[in-house]
Amino acid sequence: MALRLTVSDDVHALAPGFHHIAIEAYDLVNTPSTDATSALLDDAARRLAERLDGRAPHEDPHMAAWRAAYTAFGAKPNRTRNSAEALAKRALSEAGLPRINTLVDVYNAISVAHLIPVGGEDLDRIEGGMRLVRATGTEDFVTIASGEQVVDHPEAGEVVWCDDEGVTCRRWNWRQGPRTCLDDTSVNALFLLEGMGEHAGLAAAGAELAELLEKFSPGARITVHPAQ
């Protein structure tokens, strides 16, 4: 792939069962949420409820594996849930899933329907390559607090995604920074689907995500890279 994407040995040692699929997509069209993306999110919540069959999201074996990984690097899973568990919890609540924009709605729907952490990054805002590493604690993480942009730092040993400019997502996939998020100006994107264990179902989720991207952005150039 054109973008360098690496996972450090320290992360593999922490979670040997971790693997991911990357999807590169170019010439996308992003719009405000539509009736079609809203229906997609509603259907994802229905599929999730069928999968869980009355269980809480954290009782699903895949989410339990993610909780174990979070605990291994010192995070408290009840307080900082992985992105898929957090979305699933919201999907099953009265609030329901948020409507953000077409691209975010699409990848959130895949995350909820398959109970897999999925993230989307604006390729044009990534500096250098993307790396999944254990933080030193000195890296910059630009985020928003009380409506203002602030610089935060991960904890030493925390698993983070970063590029040459700083951290793009803290606590593995818990909180993405605004610098690389997908907004109405985004046309090129990197989607990351992350799994723990061989039965995470990344291949099916990746294929469905690619199909939806083609549906909502006809003519887009999409490449699904094999799981690593």
Tell me what pLDDT residue 2 has. 74
Q: Look at residue 160 in the predicted model and tell me its pLDDT.
A: 98
More confident residue, 102 or 1: 102
CA distance 173 to 29: 24
SS3 102: helix
Residue scoring higher pLDDT (173 or 147): 173
Residue closest to 196 by CA, chosen among 57, 62, 51, 36 = 62
Q: How many other C-beta atoms lie within 10 A of the C-beta of residue 128?
A: 11
Q: Which of 16, 1, 23 is nearest to 202 (CA)?
A: 23
pLDDT (0 to 100) of residue 104: 98
pLDDT for 77 beyond 70: yes
Does pLDDT of 114 surpass 70?
Answer: yes
Global pTM value: 0.96
Residue 225 DSSP symbol: P
Mean pLDDT of 145-168: 94
2-27: pLDDT as tens digits: 788 999 999 999 999 999 999 999 99
Q: What pLDDT sits at residue 97?
A: 97
The closest alpha carbon to 71, from 84, 80, 59, 62, belongs to: 80
Contact 127, 165 (CB under 8 A): yes
In the block, residue with structure tokens 């040995």: 9
In eight-state DSSP terms, residue 89 is H
- How many residues does the structure list for the chain? 228
Residue 62 has pLDDT above 70, yes or no: yes
Which are the contacts of 89, defined by CB distance < 8 A and separation ≥ 6? 57, 81
pLDDT, mean of residues 109-120: 98
Section 125-136 average pLDDT? 96
**Long-range CB contacts for residues 214-220, cutoff 8 Å, separation at least 24:** 216/29, 216/36, 216/37, 216/102, 216/103, 216/106, 217/25, 217/27, 217/28, 217/29, 219/27, 220/25, 220/26, 220/27, 220/28, 220/29
Angle at 40 between CA 36 and CA 42, to 5 degrees: 115
The answer to whether 193 and 205 are in contact (CB under 8 A) is: yes
pLDDT digits (tens, 9 = 90+) for 150-159: 999 999 999 9
pLDDT (0 to 100) of residue 3: 80
Position 1 confidence tier, pLDDT thresholds 50, 70, 90: low
Nearest to 45 by CA among 111, 117, 119: 111
- b/e map 68-98, b = 16+ CB within 10 Å: ebbeebebebeeebbbbbbbbebbbeeeebe
Report whether pLDDT(43) > 70. Answer: yes
